[in-house]
Amino acid sequence: MKIHILGICGTFMGGIALLARESGVEVSGSDANVYPPMSTMLEEQGVEILNGYTAEHLSEGDDCIVVGNAMKRGIDAVESMLNRNLNYTSGPQWLHENVLKNRWVLAVAGTHGKTTTSSMLAWILEYAGLKPGFLIGGVPENFGVSARLGDSPFFVVEADEYDTAFFDKRSKFVHYHPRTAILNNLEFDHADIFPDLQAIKTQFHHLVRTIPSEGLIINNATESNLDDVLAMGYWTPKESFSGSDANATWSAQYLQADGSEFAVLFKNQQQGIVSWNELGTHNVSNGLAAIAAARHAGVPVETSIAALSEFKGVKRRMQLRGEARGVRVYDDFAHHPTAIATTLNGLRASVGDARIIAILEPRSNTMRMGMHKDKIANSLTASDQVLLYQPEGLDWDMDTVIAGLKNQGHLMNSVDAIVQYISDNAQAGDHILVMSNGGFEGIHDKLLTKLAS
């Protein structure tokens, strides 16, 4: 069997490519936006990547075209696919039909933290000897790949609420049919496809409707929007978790203020102590959710605690990219004001009074539309300086954010200008946090090279 994937370098579609190849399927793919870590990982796995979305990339020998949700009508390859009546499907539907059917699916949904929590959960199951399959929207350092079939009934999937394809406007996660479901949080995002928050709540409830009565819902105790979703009806036992609410089924007692060490509490009874490299209350919550989900799959809590102490993190999630001249440069995927704030607060709790310089590229569709512009300045208050990148074609004026940052903010129009500013102003002991959900023109390596020179 042979498939061609349109949009293969997206984190989800790249994972589909790995799973298909591992299943013995011949895989090729097209993309117009190729950057690490996904492009590098696919090349290492021997997957052919063609540049652009031209009709010539589609072969009559392809048994199926798997269409990524970035594809739209009017794209040459899409029009050719339809006009030639080629067999096609969406990534989520392919995943359900070829991988997830008859598996014990553990799904992690939410506006934030999906990738990290999914990675924690997959690692716990691996540490416990369960050899899970997984598909994660990032590259967990414990595995080095974003997806694998696994050798057990268990499969961990990052359950994204974004739409499925241009021909299927349901959220991706309705295809997954989980037995264990983590509902991490819920905020307004993806303004390019959702008209309002209620529309997202409706999709989350569609997910809840698919969870069997013998399954388990694990929900964040401090998220009122999730309460609204569950108030629409649920038919499954549930447990709650929180890194800040002691009344949750799963809670934490902090032994270090930055979250690097905490006691795990189940119904207020201590189960053990996690000591790890992750930072922030948000990651404590992520860890608690992963422990709860693993327990539902039969993993003892003490085993999960031991596993998290050996969790190595995820590429592009507060990843230390390097140090030069005593200046540390981090890469983070933050793309929403809440994620920006929690990431910065975690770093601040860890580094104390050391100077933090935040560099933000508003790259997500919602950011580029200006939907969060009134919240961005407040989300950056834990940093000492902010370099705000204004790319070409942005739909709104970023001067309002700069005004909200007062003397803390600087507006930059090029990556080269940002690199030069850091080179001229950074001091030993500074922490440079780069936040973008794209490649950002390779800014991390450029910063480290310039600093070193």
- Tell me the per-residue pLDDT of 126-159, one tens digit each, with 9 for 90 and over: 999 999 999 998 889 999 888 999 999 999 999 9
**Same domain membership, residue 199 and residue 156:** yes
Beta strands 327-332 and 319-324, pairing class:
antiparallel
Whether 134 maps to a domain, the answer reads yes
CA angle 132, 279, 323 (to 5 degrees): 100
| Statement: residue 284 has pLDDT above 80 | yes
**Same domain membership, residue 163 and residue 228:** yes
SS3 380: coil
In angstroms, how far apart are the furthest CA atoms of the chain?
Answer: 62
Q: Say what the pLDDT of residue 380 is.
A: 86
**Same domain membership, residue 130 and residue 47:** no
- Which of 169-178, 251-260, 362-371 bottoms out in mean pLDDT, i.e. has the lowest? 362-371
**Same domain membership, residue 143 and residue 280:** yes
Whether 314 maps to a domain, the answer reads no
Whether 313 maps to a domain, the answer reads no
| Statement: residue 342 has pLDDT above 90 | no
Tell me which residue range forms the domain holding 397: 319-452
Contact 193, 169 (CB under 8 A): yes
Contact 3, 87 (CB under 8 A): no
Whether 94 maps to a domain, the answer reads no
Q: Give buried/exposed letters for 300-327 (b at 16+ CB in 10 A, else e).
A: ebebbbebbeebebbbbbbbebbebeeb
**Same domain membership, residue 118 and residue 256:** yes
**Same domain membership, residue 106 and residue 242:** yes
**Same domain membership, residue 409 and residue 270:** no
CATH of the domain at 50: 3.40.50.720
Residue 99: CB atoms within 10 Å:
23
Compute the distance between CA of residue 222 and CA of residue 239 in angstroms, rounded to an integer.
Answer: 13
Q: pLDDT band at residue 398, thresholds of 50, 70 and 90?
A: confident
Which whole number is the average pLDDT over 194-205?
92
Residues 6+ apart with CB under 8 A from 60: 84
Which whole number is the average pLDDT over 276-293?
93
CATH of the domain at 162: 3.40.1190.10
State the amino acid at position 178 in one-letter form.
Answer: P
Q: Mean pLDDT in the chain?
A: 90
Q: Say what the pLDDT of residue 369 is.
A: 60
The predicted-structure confidence for 9-65, as pLDDT tens digits, reads as follows: 888 999 999 999 999 999 999 999 776 666 777 888 888 899 899 999 998 889 999
Whether 64 maps to a domain, the answer reads yes
Whether 97 maps to a domain, the answer reads no
Q: Residue 327's beta-bridge partner residues? A: 324
**Same domain membership, residue 365 and residue 222:** no
Q: Say what the pLDDT of residue 229 is.
A: 97
Q: pLDDT band at residue 73, thresholds of 50, 70 and 90?
A: very high
The predicted-structure confidence for 307-336, as pLDDT tens digits, reads as follows: 999 999 887 777 888 888 899 998 887 767
**Same domain membership, residue 301 and residue 327:** no
Whether 330 maps to a domain, the answer reads yes
Nearest CA to 318 among 287, 358, 266?
A: 358
DSSP state letter for 196: S
Contact 11, 138 (CB under 8 A): yes
Please tell me the total count of domains within the chain.
Answer: 3
Q: Say what the pLDDT of residue 452 is.
A: 87
Q: Say what the pLDDT of residue 28 is.
A: 92
| Statement: residue 403 has pLDDT above 80 | no
Nearest CA to 361 among 318, 399, 319, 418?
A: 418
The predicted-structure confidence for 356-373, as pLDDT tens digits, reads as follows: 998 988 776 666 665 667
Q: How far is residue 205 from each of residues 103, 105, 188, 248, measured CA to CA in Å?
A: 22, 18, 15, 21
Instruction: Find the helix or strand (DSSP H, E) in which 107 lies.
Output: strand 104-109
**Same domain membership, residue 325 and residue 234:** no
Q: Say what the pLDDT of residue 60 is.
A: 83
CA angle 433, 278, 137 (to 5 degrees): 75
Residue 265's φ and ψ, nearest 5 degrees, are: -115, 130
Could you tell me the pTM of the whole model?
Answer: 0.79
| Statement: residue 260 has pLDDT above 80 | yes
Compute the distance between CA of residue 106 and CA of residue 165 in angstroms, rounded to an integer.
Answer: 23
Give the tokens for residue 194.
Answer: 């959702």
DSSP state letter for 110: S
**Same domain membership, residue 444 and residue 382:** yes
Compute the distance between CA of residue 377 and CA of residue 339 in angstroms, rounded to an integer.
Answer: 13
More confident residue, 428 or 379: 428
**Same domain membership, residue 164 and residue 28:** no
Residue 439's φ and ψ, nearest 5 degrees, are: -75, -25
Contact 111, 187 (CB under 8 A): yes
Whether 45 maps to a domain, the answer reads yes
Which whole number is the average pLDDT over 385-413?
79
Compute the distance between CA of residue 107 and CA of residue 102 in angstroms, rounded to an integer.
Answer: 14
Share of residues in the chain with pLDDT > 90 (%): 59
| Statement: residue 241 has pLDDT above 80 | yes
Instruction: State whether the Cα torsion 243-247-251-255 is positive or negative.
Output: positive
CATH of the domain at 440: 3.90.190.20
